[in-house]
Amino acid sequence: MINWFKNWWRSYQFASALKGKKFKLAEKIFQEIQKSDANLSILESIYLENQRLLSSLDTYKKETLSLRKRVSEIQESQKSVALPIAIKLENDIIDVNSEIVRFICHETKFKFESGDTEFLQFTGIDNEVFDNLESKLANYVNKELSRYHEDEIRLAYNELKKVKLGKDPDYSYPLIEYVYLLEYFLDNTYCSYIAWFLIYRSGKLRSNLKILDVAAGHGTMLYGLAGLIERLHKSGLETSVHINYHALEQQDLFLKTGLEFWQEYTSDNHPSSNTFWRLDSSNLFDYYKQKIDNLPVEFFDFIVICHCFFWEFDRRATSTQIYSDIFQKHLAKDGYVILIIQASKLFALFDEKRRTKEVEAEIVQDFINSFPLKLVWYKRVDSTDKREKAGIDFNKFAKENLPLQKYLYTIKKKLFNIKFDSRYVLDDYIIFAKN
């Protein structure tokens, strides 16, 4: 009876301390509660989970800061090695192999209508490459999320769902970096693979690449390129591809998880395992204040922006100006810009509901002019064969035609109780441009 009263009294004092925002006192009492081996109340259990989460996030941030410092130190020490990469080799263009092109077209079930070469349909995938990527991703995500309560993961999922409502989510929300891996990583990497394939097919892919990825997220543009390089090597390409990859991304934890998973993904003698990463977690909107524009001038062969075009008008206007300055200052004279934007978002940004080929061409040109850039080519890549989706039962179509995300689907179904299979889907514009 006495023990019961002591336990009750400690729980009462703990709740009162929290209510009065006396957090140091609450922590002291909570430690006494833990030592007593008493069953935790609901409030105490929530507090324990919260403390674990805060501790983990604090550890992640410290690790990321340490990682950024270490990568910067490595880059400084390798300047004598890295600088020669800036020298253009006349023969570093990778020759286009028609057999490889045919194989990828067959695997991805590539189709286009005669007279409309800007609209490309893909209902397949490079199974060998993506099966390897997805299985390793599932193992990584399972391992990382096993440390957290499912309710915490679902809160991050609800925050990320704002994307589908036409809003910009809080990408610093706890655990959102892992939920993003589940929700968007594979589709974005799939689109990236297609983008790099189209660039390779057009004879613009080099064996020595310097890439600036603006708002890089987890680095899906690099993962897509790595997938294509894996395919090229599996098909007999003997040339080594050297990649100098600069990832500019404000969210430290996205960079950390992107690099961490990369190390697992490329651990088995992957042909892209010697990629040089440089992590930069500067805030894009402080581009001028923080002098983060102190990047090599006219240096990068490719500057890429994938799915980072803001809904909110002021942020979109500011980011457009910053993107323009980055292109003008840091793109090599013979370099290219790759822009990838979701089809529905591009039309929404211009408040346009018509989805005809003619309207599409005007909008893409207006979009390019806003930076300003010179259009080389653009492609609408889609899982369906129609620009306008009205009247299509997409869930039925996907189930019958599109490849299943067989490893991630089971994780997502358990965590989020999704009603439909998780499939690889394309619905984007890939825009290839230059200064």
Tell me the pLDDT tens digit for each residue of 41-88.
777 667 676 766 666 556 555 555 665 555 455 445 444 334 333 344
Token pair, residue 260, equals: 């961490």
Query: Using CA atoms, how far apart are residues 281 and 253, in angstroms rounded to an integer?
Result: 9
pLDDT tens digits for 381-428?
Answer: 999 988 887 677 888 999 999 999 999 999 999 999 888 889 999 999
Amino acid 79: pLDDT? 42
pLDDT value at residue 91 = 64
Q: How far apart are the first and last CA of the chain?
A: 80
Model pLDDT, residue 33: 74
Q: Is there a contact between 204 and 104 (Cβ–Cβ < 8 Å)?
A: no
Give the residue-averaged pLDDT of 246-273.
Answer: 92
Judge whether residue 112 has pLDDT over 80. no
* Mean pLDDT across 203-220: 95
pLDDT at 282 over 90: no
pLDDT at 42: 72
Please tell me the CATH code under which domain 94-434 is placed.
Answer: 3.40.50.150
Per the rule left: phi > 0, alpha: psi between -120 and 50, beta: everything else, 22 is beta
Q: What is the pLDDT of residue 1?
A: 47
**With left for phi above 0 and alpha for psi between -120 and 50, is residue 203 left, alpha or beta?**
left
Mean pLDDT of 320-343: 95
Q: Report helix angle 2-19 to 23-35, nearest 10.
A: 160
Write down the domain spans for the chain: 1-15+24-33+43-79, 94-434
pLDDT at 77: 47
Q: Which amino acid is at 76?
A: E
Tell me what pLDDT residue 82 has. 40
Per-residue pLDDT of 255-266, as tens digits, reads: 999 999 999 999
Residue 73 is predicted with a pLDDT of 52
Q: What is the mean pLDDT of residues 107-134?
A: 90
Query: Per-residue pLDDT tens for 364-378?
Result: 999 999 999 999 999
Least confident of 43-47, 51-55, 195-199, 351-355: 51-55
pLDDT at 121 over 70: yes
Q: How far apart are CA 185 and CA 407, in angstroms?
A: 13
pLDDT at 227 over 80: yes
Q: What is the pTM of this model?
A: 0.80
Task: Please name which of 304, 277, 272, 299 lies closest in space to residue 207, comparing C-alpha atoms.
Answer: 272
Per-residue confidence (pLDDT) for residue 90, from 0 to 100: 55
**What integer pLDDT is reported at residue 186 of this predicted model?**
97
Q: What is the DSSP string of 168-228?
A: ---TTSTTHHHHHIIIIIHHHHHHHHHHHHHHHHTT--BSEEEEEEET-TTTHHHHHHHHH
Quote the pLDDT of residue 74: 46
Q: Is the pLDDT of residue 307 over 80?
A: yes
CA distance 156 to 173: 7
- pLDDT (tens digit per residue) in 143-173: 999 988 899 999 999 999 888 887 888 988 9
> If you average pLDDT over residues 126-152, what whole number do you get?
94
**Of 380 and 390, the one with more pLDDT:** 380
Radius of gyration of the chain (CA): 24
Give the H or E element holding residue 380: strand 374-382
**Local structure of 362: helix, strand or coil:** helix
pLDDT higher than threshold 80 for residue 350: yes
pLDDT at 166 (0 to 100): 77
Tokens 């695997």 found at? 107
> Which sign does the torsion angle of CA 357, 362, 368, 374 carry?
positive
pLDDT of residue 44: 66
